[in-house]
Amino acid sequence: MGEPVRNIVIGQPVSPEKVELAKRLRREMTPAERLFWEQIRANRLHGVRFRRQQVIDGFVADFYCHAAALVIEIDGPVHEGRTGYDADRDAIFQQRGLTVLRFTNDEVTANLDRVIQKVAAACGKG
C-alpha cells in the first residue's frame, strides 16, 4: 500500500476549474449516485462521513471517506472506453493509500443493499 493518508483534502492545490466541475457534478448527480448518496449522507452509514465529488490530486472522486481512506466510484456509460484512464486514476489514489471501490449504475439501482454492505465492510463496519 502507498503512503498513509494525511490531509488529502486540506491544503491541496485545487484549480478554480476543478472546484466548479465538482460543484456542477454535485448538482447533476446521476440517478444511481443520488440513490447511493441518500444511503450514506449525513453519517447514515454507521456514523461514517462521506464527501461527494471530492477533488483529490486533480481528479474528482464520486464519494470519499477520509476516515476509511476510501473512494467510491459509481460508473455509468461515460466510463465505457475509459478503462485506461480509470485504471491510471485508481493507481494514483492507491499510491495515496486509498482503497477504490467501483460499482456500475446498474449495480447500485438493482442491488443497493449489497453495494451498501460492501461499502460498510470496506469502512470496517460490516
Q: Which residues of 3-39 are buried (b: 16+ CB within 10 A; e: fewer)?
A: eebeebeeeeeeeeeeeeebeeeeeebbebbebbbee
CB of 59 closer than 8 Å to CB of 89:
yes
Residue-wise pLDDT for 84-125, tens only, equals 788 888 998 998 899 999 999 999 999 999 999 999 999 998
Domain contains 2: no
Question: Does any domain span residue 53?
Answer: yes
pTM score of the predicted model: 0.86
Decide if 5 is inside a domain: no
10 is a domain residue: no
For residue 105, what pLDDT is reported?
Answer: 94
Q: Which of 14, 72, 3 is nearest to 40 (CA)?
A: 72
For residue 7, is it within any domain?
Answer: no
The predicted structure's pLDDT at residue 54: 92
**What domain range is 26 assigned to?**
16-122
Task: Count up the domains in the chain and report the number.
Answer: 1
- For residue 47, the domain's CATH number is 3.40.960.10
pLDDT band at 2, cuts 50/70/90? very low
